Structure 1
Amino acid sequence: MSPAETERHHRFLRSFTAHEPAIRAHVRRLVPARADADDVMQEISVVLWEKFDSFRDGADFRAWAFGVARFEVLAWLRDRGRDRLVLDEEVIAKIAEETTAEEPRLQRQRDALEHCMKKVPADQRDLLMQAYQPESRIQEVAQGSGRTVAGFYQWLHRMRKLLLDCIRRAMTQEEVAP
């Protein structure tokens, strides 16, 4: 691989990895099932890489990727058109438009959550993360924490409230900050 190709590859990877969570969240709002969203994300990744030469340096990678994602979701819908549970293309277009407009606020919320999570003691943060793993079972997490299931749910409720309050404070402070 030439130095120019290596640099191109690195630019793409830096941009993609920085924006992948937002792109994935965008796709999850447009595609009903997580497994389908994962499949669509794989296609989006390939298309973004293949079309990266058409991306202008200095342009908004996220906006460009959202556009590509929208077309890939529409292609997925077209392929799945026989499925009764697939939304109409106009509905997907409207949702995509609204989620694109909401993305800056959602990113600020994700940043605030990350900031607030850093304030949570490591052992409690680990428990929170265990509770939200895709295949986790609350009964097992509760048992591992030394709590009853009811006690764990109460603790989880308190932690969610603390995080929500912290996020709201962070968002409010951000709105008044210069």
Structure 2
Amino acid sequence: MDSGPERHEAFLKLFTASDAALRAYVRVLVPTRDDAAEIMQEISLVLWRKFDEYQGHEDFRRWAFGVARFQVLAWRRDKARDRLVLSESAVESIAQQMTEDAAQLELQRSALETCIGKLQEEQRSLLRAAYAPGVKLDWLSKETGKTVQSLYKNLQRIRARLLDCVRRNAGAGDLR
């Protein structure tokens, strides 16, 4: 492994590419966002400290999930008296399933980005507006001059088109 700036840059590229999936993984395994944030800090430190052990030919995300699983289990041991903590077997089961699903989820995320890019600009704008934080369709209706029912139908058609596109591009026939 490189030393100095090259090593740091390589780690940051791999870590930032996996950060969202890793956070989602941890969040499923612990009861609160604060717990997940605390554990993520530890995970990032452990990943950096153990980065020399990472074999470049293996999947970084899978390796990071393994480290995360152990950090969650360590956190769980520390919080063992708390009623809100999952059992070790539940954590192991969820962690295993999340690891298996991670590659498919990333493929689906990537396909969704591609499919959104294929939409007409007007459709993309409607999606951005409708799913912006705090936006309500009645407000959007007034802003666009379209009825709420018309917006619902347009969004429904766009979502159906995106779902079909993602299924075709990600081989995700089991999406609901």
* Structure 1 stretches lacking a partner, 5+ long: 174-178
* Structure 2 stretches lacking a partner, 5+ long: none
Query: In 2 relative to 1, CA 151–67 (structure 1 residues): closer, same or farther, beyond 3 Å?
Result: same
- Structure 2 residue 127 is matched with structure 1 residue 128: yes
Counterpart position of 1:92: 91
Counterpart position of 1:105: 104
Letter matched to residue 156 of structure 1: L
Deviations 1:122-162 (Å, cap 9, x if unpaired)?
453244245445x4332455554444544433333222211
**RMSD across aligned C-alpha pairs, in angstroms?**
2.7
CA contact 1:127–1:141 (8 Å) conserved in 2: no
1:34 and 1:149 mapped to 2: Cα distance?
34
Counterpart position of 1:168: 167
User: Relative to structure 2, which stretch is displaced further, 124-133 or 91-100?
Assistant: 124-133
- Structure 2 residue 51 is matched with structure 1 residue 52: yes
- Tell me the SS of whatever aligns to 1:59: coil
Counterpart position of 1:71: 70
Letter matched to residue 154 of structure 1: K
1:141 and 1:38 mapped to 2: Cα distance?
34
Deviations 1:37-61 (Å, cap 9, x if unpaired)?
3333233222211221222232321
1:151 and 1:12 mapped to 2: Cα distance?
47
**Where in structure 2 are the equivalents of 1:25-64 lying within 5 Å?**
25-64=24-63
Counterpart position of 1:158: 157
Letter matched to residue 61 of structure 2: R
- Count how many residue pairs are aligned between Structure 1 and Structure 2: 170
Q: Between the two proteins, what is the percent identity of the paired residues?
A: 49
Normalising by structure 2, report the TM-score.
Answer: 0.78
Shift of 1:97: 0.6
User: Relative to structure 2, which stretch is displaced further, 56-65 or 71-80?
Assistant: 71-80
- Tell me the SS of whatever aligns to 1:47: helix
Counterpart position of 2:80: 81
CA contact 1:40–1:76 (8 Å) conserved in 2: yes
Counterpart position of 1:138: 136
